[in-house]
Structure 1
């Protein structure tokens, strides 16, 4: 069965509804009063409904979800095409439930952005102090993980990648170079795959990688000095 939607501007949208399942039988014989389709000789019976857009939306949901309804229209009434023609409703309605959900989502997004700004400021401060104090570096890492949790909740992969890079700085400051190396490499692969969407990630990865190389160099110098002594 074919479902056709004709909107206000006479634009047509077509949906293919599933056929009856095997074993279904008609309760009554379908009417033989059919219409010819385009002169092709194939008889196709049409069910045309002229409804306002609000009622039509409910019809559309029922026809797409209620398989029994569709099967009965096909088997009992011989309907091949359902034509839903929309016209504007006499009175517009306000979807208060959807408006409340949308308002809450917008408010939540604003609050999350505000929180992220504060966390970024705090994280930057503790990260700067982390060059000298390990406890500050550890706190900066915890802040980055909090930001990562927010990024996971928002479903933003680019925000998640940036938070992981911030966390890698904390790892470098605490001497966990191997863990930081793998983390930076993974984010660099993600950044290369999405270079057109966010070019900053690649520059961040390269900058932090240079810092990692410097730490490895300093560690090797210190090891050489111990061997000499």
Structure 2
């Protein structure tokens, strides 16, 4: 699963430069989610949803992205006691905020 996560991260990073990579990253994240669900790993499932939310933000769907991240925070951070997942969630949250700020600046230019 970690190798797939690395692949998804690379595609997601390219999403900052091209919309086709945003779509590809979303597809990779959805495939990863199916695998994580089969494996039954709640932390991997939560991380997949985080990366889906990142792709949604890159695609301009901020409300869905923010709702997803908040849901992960409320449902998983306390129950799973994972510092790693907590840090991933905070990182995705900050990235979504940065994307949204950048979108506003581009719109105003």
Normalising by structure 1, we get a TM-score of 0.44
The number of residues matched between the two structures is 109
1:128 corresponds, among 3, 7, 13, to 13
Match of 1:211 in 2: 95
| Pair 128,221 (structure 1): closer, same or farther in 2 beyond 3 Å | closer
CA RMSD of aligned residues (A): 1.8
Q: Does 1:149 align with 2:34?
A: yes
Alpha-carbon deviations, 1:109-128, whole Å to 9, x = none? xxxxxxx2442232122112
Q: Give the number of the structure with larger relative contact order, counting CA–CA contacts within 8 Å between residues 6 or more apart.
A: 2
Q: Is residue 191–residue 199 contact of structure 1 (8 Å, CA) maintained in 2?
A: no
Q: Is residue 195–residue 202 contact of structure 1 (8 Å, CA) maintained in 2?
A: no
2:4 corresponds, among 119, 123, 135, to 119
Match of 1:202 in 2: 86
Match of 1:179 in 2: 64
Q: Is residue 57–residue 100 contact of structure 2 (8 Å, CA) maintained in 1?
A: no
| Pair 141,159 (structure 1): closer, same or farther in 2 beyond 3 Å | same
| C-alpha distance in 2 between matches for 1:199 and 1:191 | 11
| Pair 175,199 (structure 1): closer, same or farther in 2 beyond 3 Å | same
Larger radius of gyration: 1
Greater share of residues in strand: 1
The runs of 5 or more residues in structure 2 that have no matched partner are none
Q: Is residue 187–residue 205 contact of structure 1 (8 Å, CA) maintained in 2?
A: yes
Aligned structure 1 segments of 4 or more residues deviating by more than 4 angstroms: none
